[in-house]
Amino acid sequence: MRGCGDEEDAEAETDGAAAVGDSGGRDSSGDEAQLSALLEDSAEDLYEHAPCGYLSTLLDGRILKVNTTLLDWLGYERDDLLGRRYFSDLLTVGGRLYHETHFAPLLRMQGEVSGIALELKAADGSRLPVLVTSTVRTGEDGQPLLIRTTLFDARDRRAYETELLRARKEAERERERLQRLAATLQKTLLPPILADVPGLNVSAYYHIASADEVGGDFYDLFPLAEGTWGLFLGDVCGKGAAAAAVTSLARYTLRAAAVYNPDPVAVLGNLNTVLNHEYNGADPRFCTVIFGLLTPDPDPDRGGFHITLAGGGHPPALLMRADGTTDYLPTPGGQLIGVLPDAHIATTAVRLSPGDTLLLHTDGLTEAHVSAGLDSEDRYGEDRYGDDALLDFARTLAPTTASDTVDAIRDLLDTFGSGVDDDTAVLAIHVPRPPSEEQQ
């Protein structure tokens, strides 16, 4: 049904190209002639020696016309191909399968297909990666007549893509390595286990906001002189390796300073001095910390602990009493540690009775974004969780234990999902009731 008409139209295609080529020698003045000679505006020459391959075929793929560029790439003579070979004959076998199952159907359905990567097989068997674009030329009545195809040498591009793939894989490997490194470093900044304090139930949790960066939160609980314990929880300004260095310095300074003089004000004062000395240049580093000195009540019948807390610009501790009463323990006036030569440090003292629980946290928790979803510009809304919400949440928990409190906070953080954009540390201590009171 098709064949004959196509042959005629194919000749028309050839004649048309020649006719356009002839029109190159039109009348012109001397300058213009020179210019046009320089421009080589012979359509024939543009076709034959274009920097891409040209191919015209019948709808079934039989080759009607091919330019010199493509013949040179493939190492064929024109007569090897014209009327004898099909476009798919020039492809590798795998490419031919792809051509028949994807390329040809798409071309029929859309009238054009662009940028398909295929491999040509040259006369000597070598392969040439190309990018192929084809359009169907239709007659005046809209009937498809033949297929025009351009082929671009894609050797460089293929190499470039291979390089892209390789680079992406390498980047993925590097990212994994970085995450492992960050996780390891993070671990070294936190105590592997907290000291076991007789008569005290202790629990802590560290929430990592980004696997790619080391956060700046830290905490510890450790023995001091006979019968006393120190504990602290803090947050270094910033993230990454520089913050980790300060975290490490702060942590070991606090432990050493507490041995030298366990008075909480003195401990934070010494940390303030160390940070001032270390980072008094153009790169100030500071942190917020809460430090506590813990001593058991001397009267074994009463049980419980005394704790003196010193605050340096840190969010206040939360006290959840055995009777359910819950409130913050403010240390007003405490200043950031490491900024001023003589930071003011505020203290408060409290007795922890059996059934009481004390919670320390960093502001990653209260600064978490809680508005549902992202706004139109893909940014989180301005709604933060806040101190009041945390207080209300703690009131629903009290009375509680250290581990139950930390578990509840973990669940709470989970509900915030990616709204938690800063690391969060929590440390809870709880004085268990004597077994005789457990049933109440």
Partner 1 sequence: MDVRHRNHVTVSGRPGGPVVMLAHGFGCDQNMWRLVVPALERDFTVVLFDHVGAGNSDLSAWSADRYSTLDGYVEDVLELCRELALGPVTFVGHSVSAMMGVVAAVQEPEAFAGLVLLAPSPRFIDDPETGYRGGFDAEDIDELLGSLDANYLGWSGAMAPVIMGNPERPELGEELTNSFCRTDPEIARVFARVTFLSDNREDLALVKVPTLVAQCSSDAIAPREVGEFVHAQIPGSRLVTLDATGHCPQLAAPEETTAAIASFVEALA
115 binds partner 1 (CB under 8 A): yes
Which of 57, 67, 69, 88 is in the footprint of partner 1 by CB under 8 A?
Answer: 88
What residues between 121 and 150 interact with partner 1 by CB under 8 A? 129, 131
Q: How many residues bind partner 1 (CB under 8 A)?
A: 39
113 binds partner 1 (CB under 8 A): yes
28 binds partner 1 (CB under 8 A): no
Sign of the alpha-carbon dihedral angle for 336, 338, 340, 341:
positive
Binding mask 277-296 for partner 1 (x = CB under 8 A): --------------------
- Cα angle 29, 35, 36; round to 5: 85
Q: Which of the ranges 21-29, 162-170, 346-354, 394-402 carries the binding residues for partner 1, by CB under 8 A?
A: 162-170
Q: Which is nearer to partner 1, 168 or 351 (CB)?
A: 168
Compute the least distance from the CB of residue 86 to partner 1, in Å: 8
The residues facing 205 across adjacent strands are 426
Which of 73, 98, 218, 305 is in the footprint of partner 1 by CB under 8 A?
Answer: 98
106 binds partner 1 (CB under 8 A): yes
Query: For tokens 């291979």, what's the residue?
Result: 162
Q: Which is nearer to partner 1, 113 or 394 (CB)?
A: 113
Binding mask 60-79 for partner 1 (x = CB under 8 A): xx------------------
Please tell me the distance from the alpha carbon of residue 428 to that of residue 282, in angstroms, as a whole number: 37
100 binds partner 1 (CB under 8 A): yes
Nearest to 315 by CA among 352, 366, 358: 366
Phi-psi region of 61 (alpha: psi -120 to 50; beta: other; left: phi over 0): left
Which of 85, 157, 255, 321 is in the footprint of partner 1 by CB under 8 A?
Answer: 157
| Neighbouring residues of 83: CB distance < 8 A, sequence distance ≥ 6 | 62, 63, 64
Torsion of CA 61, 67, 68, 71, to 10 degrees: -10
Q: Which is nearer to partner 1, 60 or 342 (CB)?
A: 60
Which of 41, 48, 119, 363 is in the footprint of partner 1 by CB under 8 A?
Answer: 119
Nearest to 424 by CA among 256, 235, 185: 235
Please tell me the distance from the alpha carbon of residue 290 to that of residue 314, in angstroms, as a whole number: 6
3-state DSSP assignment of residue 20: helix
Compute the least distance from the CB of residue 81 to partner 1, in Å: 17
Compute the least distance from the CB of residue 89 to partner 1, in Å: 9
Q: Which of the ranges 151-159, 285-293, 296-304, 427-435 carries the binding residues for partner 1, by CB under 8 A?
A: 151-159
How far apart, in Å, are the Cα atoms of 187 and each of 183, 217, 234, 243, 410? 6, 11, 16, 14, 18
95 binds partner 1 (CB under 8 A): yes
Compute the least distance from the CB of residue 176 to partner 1, in Å: 15
Side by side, which strands form the sheet with 229-236? 217-223, 229-236, 287-296, 305-312, 346-352
HSE-CB at 16 with a 13 A cutoff on CA atoms is: 8
Q: Which of the ranges 19-27, 59-67, 278-286, 421-429 carries the binding residues for partner 1, by CB under 8 A?
A: 59-67
Structure tokens at 12: 């028309």
Which of 23, 28, 34, 101 is in the footprint of partner 1 by CB under 8 A?
Answer: 101
Q: Which is nearer to partner 1, 104 or 249 (CB)?
A: 104
Q: Which is nearer to partner 1, 92 or 366 (CB)?
A: 92
Which of 109, 193, 282, 372 is in the footprint of partner 1 by CB under 8 A?
Answer: 109
Nearest to 292 by CA among 319, 268, 324, 327: 268
Compute the least distance from the CB of residue 95 to partner 1, in Å: 5
| Neighbouring residues of 297: CB distance < 8 A, sequence distance ≥ 6 | 303, 304, 305, 306, 351
Q: Which is nearer to partner 1, 135 or 366 (CB)?
A: 135
Nearest to 424 by CA among 260, 268, 243, 208: 208
Q: How many residues does the chain have?
A: 440
- By CB under 8 A, name the binding residues for partner 1: 1-2, 59-61, 88, 92-98, 100-102, 104-106, 108-110, 112-119, 129, 131, 154, 157-158, 161, 164-165, 168
